[in-house]
Structure 1
């Protein structure tokens, strides 16, 4: 049994440290940490890693019955002196063959990173590390607008387009941060390409030179501003006016044209290319909320042709069926979604600040439908925005925008503290949604020097943010952090939804004395059948005679065995019996 928000007393072998007094009043902090993780080793959470209790009322306790009670979590002294000594935050009681865990603090996984962290203690203790499912952190950073020029928020009038040297600089940094992540981690950056940016740059370079023209047509795609419509407006099928020029009807620029642009040429180097993952962000970034089928079809087809000409479609981590929609538009436009499907697009990313998430489960993708989106069957993967804004390349810019548009307070360091609070909650809550960034955020060669934890040096905004979040996760856990390319993320989310709909079950089977678990039986509600394998996490080894199982163990994470269910349950025998009381 686990009790949350319990009041210290004889039932828990404890008493309040100061009779009847809890903590804390607004403005007073009392940090909490795991003090003993030996009873839930599969949680892989670290002792001594303090977290805030702000907003989580609690009762510091003292153990009164050490024969039955051990401390597993601890409060520090409070910041204003209400509690001058450390005290007990949570205990495990053992009364004969019965055990319970009690937490003397309130709980709020919907907003608190602390609750999301501490919950892994009781989940792994209660299940003894033996449960249907798996714990896995996926950490993906997608870079939109690669190739385009961005108008900068602050200072007004400034513009920025990423340079080859900026991309060069991120390659050794990825290697460095990867080496500092927990064992088993695999992190990379994914670029969302707009080919028209390459063509526009090449044409401008050509116009300044004296060499024979390589670019024909001698302009990129230019189009007038569209009529503004509400963000969630649903476009009537077949309505609208074409915004793209009539010519060229098909992608017509040569590789020699693209090579005039140093940024374009950079991707022709295979080592450079394979240092990143790649996905389409459409050709010219036309807003698709009110776009016609013709315009969107050409946005997709032109970019596919450009990606092929540049060899990007042959990259080791290229997503041919994925799309980052321009400004996350077109998701209520059936004409746009049909054009996507006609060009092989099955999966896109959405925006978690909008109504594009699944109405059924926040861990599922949203599947487009005619009534809400105008078209059936496009998989919309949820995606987080951050306070590193699309139109910022320096820290003072994104801080200014945070303050002016998002009620931020303080300086850039305060912004990063907020980023830790928000995004560690997502990751500790096992959300696998990718994070949205933009090409201006990768400005590096002429940026400032930053210190993030034990790392000091010149950093882009992307580097600073990733360093901040990764170092926080390293402080709290030993969980490996994995990146998936866009298409693979789509499969991950679809499989999660399919698995949940199977309603998998796990039965513990005991020895003759009912004191230990010796085996487990995996099943599913729908006749023990499931369209995807069912993961089961084990604290140690297990075996089965059933076919179709796959073992997976990454870094220090516990063993996961995937079981295929085709009408019959699957039983695993534990290599070592698991005591119920430990």
Structure 2
């Protein structure tokens, strides 16, 4: 087929030709402005991996000139602005007065930018202001420190903000520990309450603590008349509200909640509490979890998911010690290795030194699988139908503390437990973590000899503990800690954090755990009940989860004892039930368990894209809408994946192998964009539908995507893409359009929803049109005669004519297409 550069010319239609504005690429970064570091804001943005620039201005560091809002090529850098403390007020030492650190001209420059690009502003720790339609509720009470309950206001704007964030409108929040300024709506034409304060002893009437404002010139602002603290779950929840609102749920990051109970010491026995001697781990009386305990745990995993948001999954990780199998079969054949710590907890071992505790070097298991199945628990898990219900990882063979371990001891501990994993038939399974380890007592991570043994056997990450601040990333808790020469005589071994629970390693019942808890905390907290204990644990853990922290939760094998208890419920299940029951009262987000390797990879992926991948992310603005996201690599030093959370859907190109999509339940769709080291090619994600961005822009319905094979590929031509599916030619093969760039033919996949769009027309609203052409497929609607948004005024295609057009278009449009 020879290429003919023709346009469709309908003799009966006059096309109105308009000029499109130049494409704007809006940077997908937030600008955070404050007079002092707003830790709550920074940590919440880190939790989503949302990029931001933090600029701090105060009396000693005033802004000179205007804010740096544009790139060198004059493209807008930010798609949202966060004010860490409202009007950015500071105390001017030279005048003795308070005022904004920004001048009126500098504010106007920011507001002009806001109007021009539809950017929203969030003001935290703000003060009511008549400019934004609010005022102090009672001028005689400027601020309040007492606790007031916070409730959602009863209006559509407030409800939409909660819905956008996936936060339950029934969530219970308050101002505990947060200084706040009760406000009121002074001008309801521009301001709307979002969160209100219930009356208390200081304020006898309902007041406003968060307000939405749309000024007369169209600027949108969300103002919080309350201070923020990164320790406060109330602040955390309000952060989720404004993050979703300011980004419209479009951001280069992801919101991922994880919940993975780790069960250490599987296969070994643990001494029970001795009430008479206060001995936490009795040498006389021990407990080892049973097949029945694990069956109860399996059933609990399945049932608890039913109470969680759609897309959730819960699975426990079993960190096992193979020596426990030998000890059950015949105590005389178990390895007698002293597992205790005899050095300082932060001890750094000299390379090549240490103490051999194993009786033999290069030990190997002299038993086969059949022999090991004399242990009923080993036999149970040797069946894949049972082992696959849990995640698996190594906790070393005998549970030796590795802080002072020699290379020989460390090698035995790691290699022999791998042998057990292979005999158990879990080592090569997708639910086993071979690249990570949980060491006993968080040991060996300052021992270079142990680290080298880990690496020898393919173990690329260790597990830390939030109680060990020297082994966690204190600057960004969403990233791994990497060992250094100073910390461990080894540079760059990643350590993934884990949270210790107050469910203790020798507690098998609620009574035992409460007893130990009071031994530890009675002087500080007074005598506590189980109910008080569990409430504190729920609050602590929920704060971590709402902060999107991905640490797993530490338990021990004795904590799942249940089969011989009256209520058949272990401590792990009780603790988890209480936490998750409170979780679902807060949000609609799915929660998922991750095996140890996947958890480590989650942290490492974040680190790699921050450290090794310089990538620009921009939102393409076309008129009032964001139509696409452009991801452009500047420098890729290591393979990385970039998450882009989308408010709705996207046009997915099956040929684009570097972009994959993940959707957990009803949570937002996440596009994962992969780049290889050295790659330079930009990627584009087209939104479906385009995102209404400008103030008052109307939402557009999603375009129905009909999956069809590309018929023209067999003829050597690709199919038409968006904006190309306008019929230029028709032959016996099908309908043909022209590509935008190369001006080549492309095959049109017929629009079965509205055939007329393939001919540059809209479909008629109804069949009752004012005029129908002789061909019987084109109608005219007079009410659209002067509508400039329609390319052919009132002309439209009759939907009822679709069958005729699909089968006989060549004849129907022969004259117009000059066929």
Aligned partners of 2:206, 2:638: CA distance in 1, in Å? 49
Q: Aligned partners of 2:602, 2:546: CA distance in 1, in Å?
A: 18
Shift of 1:74: 2.5
Taking a change above 3 Å as real, the CA distance of residues 399 and 15 of structure 1, as seen in their structure-2 partners, is: farther
Q: Does 1:185 align with 2:312?
A: yes
- Evaluate the alpha carbon distance shift between residue 149 and residue 4 of structure 1 in structure 2; reply closer, same or farther with a 3 A threshold: same
- Cross-structure match for 1:170: 297
- Confirm or deny: 8 A CA contact 1:530 1:564 kept in the other structure: no
CA gap of 1:441–1:52, structure 2 versus 1, over 3 A, is farther
| Cα pair distance change 1:368/1:227, threshold 3 Å | closer
- What is the 5 A alignment of 1:203-282? 203-204=330-331, 218-224=332-338, 228-246=342-360, 249-282=363-396
Superposition deviation, residue 372 in structure 1: 1.7
Deviation of 1:133 after TM superposition, in Å, equals 0.9
Partner of 2:629: 520
For 2:499, the equivalent position in structure 1 comes to 384
1:366 aligns with 2:486: no
Task: Give the 3-state SS of the residue equivalent to 2:471 in structure 1.
Answer: coil
Distance 1:17 1:360 in 2: 39
1:67-106 CA-partner distances (Å, limit 9, x unpaired):
111122232343xx33444432211100031010011111
Q: Does the 8 Å contact 2:361/2:408 carry over to 1?
A: no
TM-score by length of 1: 0.89
| 1:224 Cα deviation after fit | 4.0
Match of 2:499, SS state, is coil
The answer (yes or no) to whether the contact 2:444–2:450 under 8 Å persists in 1 is yes
Q: Deviations over 1:322-353 (max 9, x none)?
A: 21101110110011111122222112211122
Superposed CA offset, 1:358-412 (max 9, x none): 3552211123333321334432111111111222112222223333335455222
| Stretch of structure 1 that moved more, 296-305 or 153-162 | 153-162
The counterpart of 1:160, out of the listed 269, 278, 287, is: 287
CA contact (8 A) 2:479 2:606 kept: yes
Partner of 2:194: 72
Quote the Cα distance in structure 1 between the aligned partners of 2:645 and 2:400. 46
Secondary structure class of the residue paired with 1:533: strand
CA distance in 1, matches of 2:341, 2:562: 36
Q: What does the per-residue CA deviation read over 1:111-132, in whole Å, with 9 as the maximum and x for residues that have no partner? A: 1111111101111111111111
Q: Is the 8 A contact 2:132 2:215 kept in 1?
A: no
Which of 136, 139, 156 does residue 16 from structure 1 map onto? 136
CA distance in 2, matches of 1:247, 1:293: 10
Find the counterpart in structure 2 of residue 331 from structure 1.
445
Match of 1:564 among 674, 693, 697: 674
Q: Which residue number in structure 2 is paired with residue 215 of structure 1?
A: none
Residue 24 of structure 1, CA deviation? 5.3
* 2:169 match: 47
Q: Say yes or no: does 1:100 pair with 2:221.
A: yes
User: After the TM superposition, which residues 281-296 of structure 1 pair with which residues of structure 2 at under 5 Å, given as runs?
Assistant: 281-296=395-410
Higher RCO (C-alpha under 8 Å, 6+ residues apart) = 1
Is contact 2:362-2:411 (8 Å) kept? no
Task: Quote the residue 1:415 is aligned against.
Answer: 533
Cα root mean square deviation, aligned: 2.3
Find the aligned partners of 2:149 and 2:273 in 1 and give their Cα distance: 37
For 1:151 and 1:54, locate their aligned partners in 2 and report how far apart those are by CA, in whole Å: 41
Whether the aligned pair in 1 keeps the contact of 2:628 and 2:690 (CA below 8 Å) is no
Counterpart residue number, 2:790: none
Structure 1 segments (4+ residues) deviating >6 Å: none
Deviation at 1:555, TM superposition (A): 1.1
CA distance in 2, matches of 1:504, 1:160: 53
Q: Deviations over 1:516-560 (max 9, x none)?
A: 333332235x44786212111111223477662112221111121
In structure 1, runs of 5+ residues without a counterpart are 205-217, 450-457
Deviation at 1:197, TM superposition (A): 1.0
- Confirm or deny: 8 A CA contact 1:259 1:265 kept in the other structure: yes
CA displacement, residues 435-492 of structure 1 (integer Å, 9 cap, x when unaligned): 111111111123364xxxxxxxx42111111112212221111111111111111211
Correspondence 1:480-519 to 2 at 5 A? 480-501=590-611, 502-512=613-623, 515-519=624-628
Rounded to whole Å, the distance in 2 between the matches of 1:138 and 1:479 is 10
Task: Give the secondary structure class of the aligned counterpart of 1:363.
Answer: coil
The answer to whether residue 454 in structure 2 is matched with residue 340 in structure 1 is: yes
Match runs of 1:434-449 below 5 Å: 434-447=552-565, 449=567
Partners of 2:292 and 2:628 lie apart in 1 by 56
Any stretches of 5+ residues in structure 2 without a counterpart? 1-120, 697-819
Deviations 1:409-441 (A, max 9, x none): 522222222122221121111111211111111
Instruction: Name the stretch that deviates more: 263-272 or 247-256.
Output: 247-256
Q: What do the CA deviations read for 1:216-259 (whole angstroms, capped 9, x no partner)?
A: xx420103466711111100011122111127832113334422
Compare CA radii of gyration and give the structure with the larger one. Answer: 2
Cα distance in 1, alignment partners of residues 208 and 563 from structure 2: 49
